[in-house]
Amino acid sequence: MSRDLVLEHITYVNGRTLLDDVCVTFPAGRVTALSGPSGSGKTTLLSIAGGLLEPTSGTAALAGQEMWTGSGDPLPEVAFVLQVYGLVPILSARENVSIALRARGIAPADADEAAEAALARFGIADLGERQVEELSGGQMQRVACARGFVVGAEVLLADEPTSELDEGNRGVVLAELREEAARGAVVVVATHDPAVVEACDLHIALDEGRVVR
């Protein structure tokens, strides 16, 4: 059975219509770019795709399993890299990554070890002891990537994961996104960056809540 993430006739209204009858498939094993100007609905679509938001109408499902569980908590199969990082300021970089595994029932020592390896993937293994508030924007973004990637989720949804990064580190993140897709994950990247779009396998563009390509 296909493990694609399928969104059918998604409409989302919150004061105004943010998404208007969007039908898209995010295939497993591919990196899909989701582009569009600010306010086009990218973050809203990612939130619905990952089960954080309930659509006003339509369905989002992974191999037939509804993404919306009724609580706003994503399924265990889903991991996010959020534009606002979503990191806990009072924790260290390593603890912020480790906590994602501990929440899934991984033993603390194993979670810490995996967190170290995840930070190393993004070239920040030396920052594990640093508190988040001591990090630069680009460093925080890479910690957020490490936390999203560490769980080996079936669906990885990244909202502007390279916006604070220089070209070299952008390349690292793109390579790691490709690694996640290579193991069979659904990988979706919301981005404004044409270079990121170019590096992805597929491209879906939104404008004013509608798919325009």
SS3 16: strand
pLDDT at 171 over 90: yes
pLDDT in tens, 12-68: 999 999 999 999 999 999 999 999 998 899 999 999 999 999 999 999 999 989 999
SS3 71: coil
SS3 33: strand
pLDDT in tens, 96-106: 999 999 988 99
Separation CA 151–CA 133 (nearest Å): 23
170-195: b (≥16 Cβ within 10 Å) or e: bebbbebbeebbeeebbbbbbbebee
Model confidence at 153, pLDDT cuts 50, 70, 90, reads very high
> What is the token pair recorded at 191?
């981005």
Residue 166 C-beta-side C-alpha neighbours within 13 Å? 4
Percentage helix, strand, coil for the chain under 3-state DSSP, each rounded to 5: 35, 30, 40
What single letter denotes the amino acid at residue 2?
S
Model confidence at 84, pLDDT cuts 50, 70, 90, reads low
